[in-house]
C-alpha cells in the first residue's frame, strides 16, 4: 500500500454518493507498500479501504482481481470483499484512476515474525489455494519467470549504483534459475505477494489476507516459496529452519505437497528471491521524490538468494 495520487475530502464525498455505505467521517492515506494509492475510509456505515490503482496494475486485470477476492471471500477466506456501487459495479473511477472500495479487515500485521505465526500462515495459504478452485478465469503471472529478464534489462546499470557489479551478478544468477525452472507442477490461483504486511492477526489467529493485486494463476509451490522468503529469514539473513518447518508442515497438512514440488523448493525459492530483488531494485531506482511510500532494500533479497543457491534439497527448509 502507498499513496501516489492525492484525493480531497470533497472528491471522496462525491465518490461516496455512488454507494449506499453512508457519509464520510474520516479519511487518511496509508503509506505502507509500493504499488497503489490506498486510503483508510470511515463512513457512517462502517470502515473500508479505498484503493486507486497505479503503476503495474493493468486496468484490464482489475475485474479478475476483484472477482477472485469475491470468490475467495465467499468460500470463507478472510480477504477484502469488493463493495459494489448502486449500479452493481465495484470498479469505478476517482481522480483520474480506476478505483474500488473494499471491506475493512481487523487485526495487525506482525512486525516481528515468531514461529507461532508461521503455522497459521501455512494453513491459510493452503486453504487459499484450495478455495481458488472453481474460479474459472485465469490470469498469467505478469511478474513470473518470463518477465524477469525484461525487468533486469529495464534496470540496466542502475543496480551498479547500489552495489558495483550487481548487474553482472544478477544476469548470471537469473540464467541459472531459468535453466532449472520446473515444469508440470500443480498450479492454480496464487496470492504471489503474501508478505507479513499482507497478513493480519487478531488474538493469535489470522484475521485477514490482503493486497491481491499480484495474484495470478501459477505454481502453488512458487507461492509457498514466496512465503518462505518473506517469513522465515532473520535480520542476519539466515534461514530460520524452525519457522520454515512450521510453515511447510502446516501447509502440507491442509494441501499435501507432491514429491516434485518438494524437490523443486530450492529453485522456486531462488526464483521468488530474484523476483522481489528485481522489483525492489527497480522501485529503489524509480520511486519519485516526495511520494508517500516506503522503499524496501533490494539487497535483503540478494542475501536470501545466496542461501537458496546453497540449498541442495527440501531438507534445507525443514522437510
The predicted-structure confidence for 162-200, as pLDDT tens digits, reads as follows: 899 999 999 999 999 999 999 999 999 999 999 999 999
Question: What distance in Å separates the CA atoms of residue 42 and residue 40, rounded to the nearest whole number?
Answer: 7
**CATH superfamily membership of 9-103:** Phosphorylase Kinase; domain 1 (3.30.200.20)
**pLDDT, tens digit, 9 for 90 and up, residues 261-290:** 999 999 999 999 999 999 999 988 886 555
What pLDDT, on a 0 to 100 scale, did the predictor assign at position 1?
42
Portions of the chain given CATH number 3.90.1200.10: 115-317
Percentage of the chain beyond pLDDT 90 is 86
What pLDDT, on a 0 to 100 scale, did the predictor assign at position 174?
98
Question: What distance in Å separates the CA atoms of residue 86 and residue 224, rounded to the nearest whole number?
Answer: 38
**pLDDT, tens digit, 9 for 90 and up, residues 93-143:** 999 999 999 999 999 999 999 999 999 999 999 999 999 999 999 999 999
Contact 174, 163 (CB under 8 A): no
Question: What distance in Å separates the CA atoms of residue 305 and residue 174, rounded to the nearest whole number?
Answer: 11
* Rg (alpha carbons) of the chain, rounded to whole number: 20
Is the entire prediction scored with pTM above 0.85?
yes
Q: State the alpha helices, DSSP H only, in the chain.
A: 9-16, 62-74, 115-131, 148-155, 158-162, 166-180, 220-231, 241-254, 259-263, 265-286, 299-310
| Cβ neighbours of residue 293 closer than 8 Å, sequence gap 6 or more | 2, 3, 4, 31, 33, 34, 287
Question: What distance in Å separates the CA atoms of residue 39 and residue 27, rounded to the nearest whole number?
Answer: 7
Portions of the chain given CATH number 3.30.200.20: 9-103
Q: Which cell numbers hold the place of 204?
A: 493469535
What pLDDT, on a 0 to 100 scale, did the predictor assign at position 294?
59
Contact 251, 123 (CB under 8 A): yes
Share in percent of the chain as helix, strand, coil (round to 5): 45, 15, 40
Q: Which of 182, 183, 30, 49 is nearest to 106 (CA)?
A: 49
- Using alpha carbons only, give the angle 115, 214, 261 rounded to the nearest 5 degrees: 55
**CATH superfamily membership of 115-317:** Aminoglycoside phosphotransferase (APH), C-terminal lobe (3.90.1200.10)
What pLDDT, on a 0 to 100 scale, did the predictor assign at position 221?
98
How would you class 302 by CB atoms within 10 Å of its CB: exposed for 0-12, middle for 13-18, buried for 19 or more?
buried
| Cβ neighbours of residue 265 closer than 8 Å, sequence gap 6 or more | 221, 224, 225, 228, 311, 313, 314, 316, 317, 319
**pLDDT, tens digit, 9 for 90 and up, residues 24-52:** 999 998 876 557 889 999 999 999 999 99
What pLDDT, on a 0 to 100 scale, did the predictor assign at position 58?
87
Axis-axis angle for helices 115-131, 220-231 (nearest 10): 160
Question: What distance in Å separates the CA atoms of residue 81 and residue 21, rounded to the nearest whole number?
Answer: 14
Write down the mean pLDDT value for the chain.
93
Range 237-256 average pLDDT: 97
Does residue 10 surpass a pLDDT of 50?
A: yes
What pLDDT, on a 0 to 100 scale, did the predictor assign at position 293?
55
Write the DSSP symbol of residue 52: E
- Using alpha carbons only, give the angle 233, 34, 162 rounded to the nearest 5 degrees: 65
Amino acid at each position: 500500500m502507498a499513496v501516489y495520487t492525492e484525493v480531497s475530502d470533497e472528491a471522496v464525498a462525491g465518490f461516496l454518493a455512488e454507494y449506499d455505505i453512508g457519509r464520510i467521517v474520516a479519511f487518511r492515506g496509508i503509506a505502507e507498500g509500493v504499488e497503489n494509492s490506498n486510503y483508510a475510509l470511515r463512513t457512517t456505515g462502517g470502515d473500508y479501504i479505498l484503493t486507486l490503482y497505479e503503476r503495474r496494475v493493468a486496468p484490464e486485470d482489475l475485474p479478475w482481481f476483484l472477482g477472485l477476492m469475491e470468490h475467495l471471500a465467499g468460500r470463507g477466506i478472510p480477504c477484502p470483499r469488493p463493495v459494489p456501487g448502486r449500479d452493481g459495479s465495484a470498479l469505478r473511477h476517482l481522480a483520474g484512476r480506476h478505483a474500488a472500495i473494499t471491506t475493512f479487515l481487523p487485526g495487525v500485521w506482525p512486525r516481528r515474525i515468531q514461529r507461532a505465526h508461521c503455522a497459521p500462515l501455512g494453513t491459510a495459504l493452503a486453504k487459499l489455494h484450495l478455495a481458488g478452485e472453481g474460479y474459472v478465469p485465469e490470469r498469467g503471472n505478469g511478474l513470473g519467470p518470463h518477465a524477469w529478464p525484461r525487468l533486469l534489462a529495464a534496470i540496466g546499470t542502475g543496480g551498479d549504483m547500489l552495489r558495483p557489479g550487481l548487474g553482472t551478478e544478477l544476469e548470471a544468477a537469473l540464467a541459472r534459475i531459468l535453466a532449472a525452472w520446473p515444469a508440470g507442477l500443480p498450479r492454480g490461483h496464487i496470492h504471489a505477494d503474501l508478505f507479513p504486511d499482507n497478513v493480519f492477526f487478531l488474538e493469535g489467529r489470522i484475521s485477514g489476507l490482503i493486497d491481491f493485486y499480484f495474484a495470478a494463476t501459477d505454481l502453488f509451490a512458487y507461492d509457498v516459496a514466496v512465503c518462505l522468503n518473506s517469513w522465515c529469514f532473520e535480520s542476519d539473513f539466515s534461514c530460520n529452519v524452525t519457522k520454515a518447518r512450521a510453515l511447510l508442515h502446516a501447509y502440507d497438512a491442509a494441501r499435501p505437497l507432491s514429491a516434485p514440488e518438494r524437490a523443486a523448493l530450492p529453485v522456486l525459492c531462488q526464483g521468488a528471491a530474484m523476483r522481489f530483488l528485481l522489483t525492489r531494485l527497480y522501485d529503489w531506482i524509480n520511486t519519485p521524490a516526495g511520494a508517500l511510500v516506503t522503499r524496501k532494500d533490494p539487497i535483503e533479497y540478494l542475501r536470501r538468494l545466496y542461501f537458496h543457491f546453497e540449498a541442495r534439497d527440501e531438507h534445507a527448509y525443514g522437510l
